[in-house]
Amino acid sequence: MKSDVRDKTEKIIRENIVLFNSFKNVYLFGSILNINKVPNDIDILLIYEKFLSNFIDEINIIRSTLEKLSGFFIDLTVLSVEEEKEVKFLKRINKYIKIK
């Protein structure tokens, strides 16, 4: 059941990948990857190369679309390529699935 949630979420994101056109990379991380735990939300990391003035609108569309399709609260972390390198976010979380 728990991996079904992860698989379903990954499928939903891939089927709606156009929502993420402004982002260089998209990663799933957090409790959704723990097979021993039922997730209470879905954590997604979005990495961009160039800041766009409409990011807030795009992020709101991504969140509302994925929440409607998955039935889970969507927690988005948004970093630039440089910010991710600086804080080593991916290295610190260690476990993730690269979607894009």
What pTM did the predictor assign? 0.91
- For the chain, the domain total comes to 1
How far is the CA of 98 from the CAs of 53, 54, 72, in angstroms? 25, 24, 20
Range of the domain at 62: 2-98
End-to-end C-alpha distance for the chain, whole angstroms: 24
Q: Cα separation of 71 and 57, whole Å? A: 21
pLDDT of residue 94: 83
| Higher per-residue confidence, 48 vs 7 | 48
Q: Check which CATH number belongs to the domain holding 7 and give it.
A: 3.30.460.10
| Nearest residue to 86 (alpha-carbon basis) of 47, 55, 53, 60 | 47
Mean pLDDT of the chain: 92
Q: What pLDDT is stored for residue 38 in this prediction?
A: 79
Q: Tens digit of pLDDT for each residue in 32-68? A: 998 777 788 999 999 999 988 888 999 999 999 999 9
β-pairing verdict for 41-48 and 96-98: unpaired
